[in-house]
């Protein structure tokens, strides 16, 4: 039985403020959102970046599509409604990390502008950094690191983004990384250089 809204009493206003946690961690929390086709390099960049930022003293959490779908979102499929709910839940989780002063690196295809706007609306425009990991469909299919393109071509996966479901490239990403023209290390370094000024603690 669903709980009625009048029986819910959030205590957000009684919690320690985000600023106190950022001061403790000596960093500015951000929600870094990597979007791009499957196989474009989102997770590879995020994992490399996590290590580098950790070594520099930053507290970072990576949220990855497969990890989330094997846990908190294991009950969701890939219909348009389920994809929207998948991203909504992730945005709420990222927002919790944000309020705790952490930097989250989010790796999700999130194929439409509307879905990504949903995230921005939840976490706040000033907290959201959109990074478009851009690799052509042909390059991603050639990599096929998870074997998904082969399954999609065989009809085992329906509504596969880029094949029989659309991907809307971000109109104005904060950063675009073209991984077909860069090594993974170069991609990580480029993102790190861009992000560091945003992550510096501001009293």
Q: What is the pLDDT of residues 168-187, one digit of tens each?
A: 999 999 999 999 999 999 99
Mind listing the pLDDT tens digit for each residue in 127-152?
999 999 999 989 988 987 788 877 77
Mind listing the pLDDT tens digit for each residue in 68-118?
777 777 877 777 788 888 889 999 999 999 999 999 999 999 899 999 999
- Separation CA 166–CA 160 (nearest Å): 8
- Separation CA 184–CA 55 (nearest Å): 18
Nearest to 109 by CA among 39, 171, 37, 158: 37
Burial class (CB in 10 A: 0-12, 13-18, 19+), 144: middle
- Separation CA 140–CA 180 (nearest Å): 9
Neighbouring C-beta atoms of residue 44, cutoff 10 Å: 19
Active site residue ranges = 110
Q: What share of the chain is helix, strand, coil (3-state, %, to 5)?
A: 50, 15, 35
| DSSP symbol at 202 | -
Residue 9 counted as domain residue = no
The tally of domains found in the chain comes to: 1
Residue 8 counted as domain residue = no
- Separation CA 19–CA 25 (nearest Å): 10
pTM over 0.85: yes
Backbone CA torsion sign across 30, 67, 37, 162:
negative
CATH of the domain at 60: 3.40.50.300
Residue 203 counted as domain residue = no
Q: Domain span at residue 170?
A: 18-198
């Amino acid at each position: 039985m669903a709980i009625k809204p009048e029986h819910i009493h959030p205590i957000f206003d009684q919690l320690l403020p985000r600023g106190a946690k950022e001061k403790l961690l000596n960093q500015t929390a951000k929600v870094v959102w990597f979007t791009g086709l499957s196989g474009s390099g989102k997770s590879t960049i995020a994992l490399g970046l996590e290590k580098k930022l950790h070594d520099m003293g930053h507290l970072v959490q990576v949220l990855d599509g497969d990890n989330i779908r094997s846990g908190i979102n294991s009950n969701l499929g890939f219909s348009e409604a389920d994809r929207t709910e998948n991203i909504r839940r992730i945005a709420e989780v990222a927002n919790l990390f944000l309020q705790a002063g952490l930097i989250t690196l989010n790796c999700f295809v999130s194929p439409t502008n509307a879905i990504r706007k949903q995230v921005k609306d939840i976490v706040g425009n000033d907290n959201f950094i959109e990074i478009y990991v851009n690799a052509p469909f042909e390059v991603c299919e050639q990599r096929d690191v998870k074997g998904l393109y082969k399954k999609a071509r065989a009809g085992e996966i329906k509504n596969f983004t880029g094949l029989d479901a659309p991907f809307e490239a971000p109109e104005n990403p904060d950063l675009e990384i073209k991984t077909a023209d860069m090594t993974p290390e170069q991609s990580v370094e480029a993102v790190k250089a861009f992000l560091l000024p945003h992550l510096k603690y501001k009293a």
